[in-house]
Structure 1
Amino acid sequence: MKAFKKYYIIPAPPEEVYNALTNPLAIRLWTGEPATMSADPGSEFSLWGDSIEGKNLEFVPGKKIVQQWYFGDDGEASIVTILLHPHAQGTSVELKHSNIPDSEFDDITEGWNTIYFKSLHEFFE
């Protein structure tokens, strides 16, 4: 199991970035795909045509999102923590993704960089 941590700058205030990450209608706008999402801890979510699925664990509006991502029966839970910090250019997004299966690491990190946060950045440009 591996971990990944990276910062991204999104050109929008933290409250707008939080909404774009938690509101299923907003998610559809920047991903182009239907999404199942709720800001209720314990709720299940699905993004990008079910290619990302998991459970929402914790929310602090405008500041923090914690999710468990599913990778089959790979022992420890894979946890995604997204922290939103005000930044001169909008929002500094601090991403921490722990317990990524070794076999999925390259695809997951490439997805964070070239799809997930690239799409979100382009949405706010």
Structure 2
Amino acid sequence: MSKIIKLTRDFDATPEEVYYALTNPFTISLWTGEEAEMSTDPNSEFSIMGGDIQGRNLQFEPNKLIQQEWYFEGEQEKSIVTIRLEPHKAGTRMFVEQTGVPEDAYENLLEGWKEAYLSSLKLFFED
């Protein structure tokens, strides 16, 4: 049985800046410190965090929404990541939802979201 991850984070940056940081391969490599392949074309493949995260881009709504399918080796169920961005106070509130998370990968993924993905992005905007 699969699980769902839901997280919310605030950033000291505009929705446009956060969206760009999540969709531009050069900027992704700046905040992750790893090589990135990314396009905003639906159905394009992507690879970030040096290939640790790979999948297919499903949908983009500039400055508001990113939806991706993340691949897990040997898993039949699709894991869908939806990132919503909303203006909030002087910055942006990001809502992350990942469905179809394999039960045995849940704790590692949750830690990865918090400790690698979101914390690195937050530090990027604090510099």
TM-score, length-normalised on structure 1? 0.98
When the two chains are superposed, the root-mean-square deviation of aligned CA atoms in Å is 0.7
> Could you tell me which residue of structure 1 aligns to residue 30 of structure 2?
29
Q: Distance in 1 between matches of 2:68 and 2:38?
A: 11
| Long gaps (5+) in structure 1 | none
**Percent of paired sites with the same residue:** 50
Q: Which runs of 4+ in 1 moved over 3 A?
A: none
| Long gaps (5+) in structure 2 | none
Alignment of 1:37-76 (within 5 A): 37-76=38-77
Q: Distance in 1 between matches of 2:74 and 2:115?
A: 27
Q: Distance in 2 between matches of 1:33 and 1:6?
A: 23
Aligned residues: 125
User: 1:62-117: CA deviations, max 9, x gaps?
Assistant: 00000000002312210000000001141100000000001110010001011100
Do the aligned residues in 2 keep the contact of 1:9 with 1:89 (CA within 8 Å)? Answer: no
Do the aligned residues in 2 keep the contact of 1:22 with 1:38 (CA within 8 Å)? Answer: yes
